[in-house]
């Protein structure tokens, strides 16, 4: 294959969750730019329509799917509908996620469960349902968005760190089971990326300085810094990469 063919997604359909903003929005645009038809999933209809319109304005193919990833019935029905219509996704990007920050003594079980449902149960259900179509076609790419919190811990982020460690385990289990069917499963572990989910940290002068000092490249990451990692894991170029955790963190974890 030529370099262009190795990263060509023409003829593929990708489902990206949490695609109305932040990392998910950038990832959807990246896959569309590479030739895939992208289904953008999130809860906000207006934000989804805006994100999809931005892709089509650049000549890409995109359509919104209003979906609460924590609603198992809705997820199962949506994936079944896509399969029945011949639009079963070849690529699944499990990006939707939330974080809850609080000291352990002040944390609440209901908040813990909400993080687990969004960050772990939802990706499991989506992978299970998407894999049905992928296995039938003999091809698929599942990319879970983990975090450097899949590799170490962080104070006041107990549920988040726990779910990201679990996503690493889920990714490896999916890789082991689905690999023989032509379906690979990998995860991206972003470092500190500027998104809406961490505005409070970005505006904390002490924390901002800490990130810049502790990251060898000296800055926060941007959503665009994850684009090539995602494209690689979704494209023919990564055909022999399975069960891998790809860290994109500017070197943060290699020094701490």
Residues identified as active-site: 160
Residue corresponding to tokens 């896959």: 31
SS3 49: helix
Torsion of CA 43, 229, 169, 147, to 10 degrees: -70
d(CA 27, CA 135): 24
- The alpha helices in 85-141, defined as continuous H runs, are 109-116, 122-137
Rounded to the nearest 5°, which phi and psi values hold at 81? -65, -40
d(CA 147, CA 247): 8
């Amino acid at each position: 294959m030529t370099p262009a063919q190795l990263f060509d997604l023409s003829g593929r359909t990708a489902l990206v969750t949490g695609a109305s903003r932040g990392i998910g929005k950038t990832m959807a645009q990246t896959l569309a730019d590479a030739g895939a038809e992208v289904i953008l999933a999130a809860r906000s209809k207006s934000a989804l329509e805006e994100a999809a319109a931005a892709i089509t304005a650049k000549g890409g193919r995109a359509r919104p799917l209003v979906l609460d990833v924590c609603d198992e019935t809705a997820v199962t029905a949506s994936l079944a509908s896509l399969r029945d219509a011949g639009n079963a996704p070849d690529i699944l990007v499990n990006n939707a996620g939330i974080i809850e920050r609080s000291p352990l003594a002040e944390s609440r079980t209901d908040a813990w469960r909400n993080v687990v449902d969004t960050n772990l149960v939802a990706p499991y259900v989506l992978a299970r349902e998407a894999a049905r179509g992928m296995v039938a076609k003999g091809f698929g790419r599942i990319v879970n968005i983990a975090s450097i919190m899949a590799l170490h811990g962080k104070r006041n982020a107990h549920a988040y760190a726990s779910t990201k460690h679990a996503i690493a385990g889920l990714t490896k289990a999916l890789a082991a089971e689905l690999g023989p069917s032509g379906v690979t499963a990998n995860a991206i572990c972003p470092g500190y990326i500027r998104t809406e989910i961490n505005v409070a940290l970005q505006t904390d002068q002490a924390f901002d300085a800490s990130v810049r000092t502790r990251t060898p490249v000296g800055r926060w990451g941007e959503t665009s810094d994850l684009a090539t990692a995602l494209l690689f894991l979704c494209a023919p170029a990564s055909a022999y990469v399975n069960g891998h955790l790809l860290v994109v963190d500017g070197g943060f974890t290699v020094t701490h």
